[in-house]
């Protein structure tokens, strides 16, 4: 089974991003539009470094205001 990740690799990868952690222990960022903190989501796993806004509403507001 070469080329397939084993369970240990998958567990390490999930823990480095936040999966497998308690919600209170997951990485957080602060939304530049509303100023509220938001935490890592499985949906953002591959793109967490590029996530800036907590919601589509804040992302749209940033576009309107030119942030």
Q: For residue 2, what are the CA distances in angstroms to 5, 6, 8, 46?
A: 8, 10, 15, 23
* pTM metric for this prediction: 0.62
The answer to whether position 10 is within a domain reads no
The answer to whether position 43 is within a domain reads yes
The answer to whether position 21 is within a domain reads no
Q: What are the tens digits of pLDDT across the range 12-50?
A: 555 555 667 777 788 999 999 999 999 998 898 899 999
The answer to whether position 62 is within a domain reads yes
- 31 contacts 38 by C-beta, under 8 angstroms: yes
Total number of domains constituting the chain: 1
Choose among 51, 29, 31, 48: nearest CA to 39. 29
Type and span of the H or E element at 16 = helix 7-17
- Residue numbers of the domain that contains 63: 26-67
The answer to whether position 54 is within a domain reads yes
Q: What are the tens digits of pLDDT across the range 8-20?
A: 665 555 555 566 7
| Cα atoms in the 13 Å half-sphere on the side-chain side of 53 | 12
């Amino acid at each position: 089974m070469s080329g397939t990740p084993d369970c240990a690799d998958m567990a390490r990868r999930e823990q480095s991003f936040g999966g497998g952690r308690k919600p209170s222990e997951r990485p957080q960022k602060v939304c530049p539009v509303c100023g509220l903190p938001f935490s890592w989501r499985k949906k953002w796993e591959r793109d967490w470094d590029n996530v800036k806004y907590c919601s589509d509403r804040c992302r749209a507001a940033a576009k309107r205001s030119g942030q």
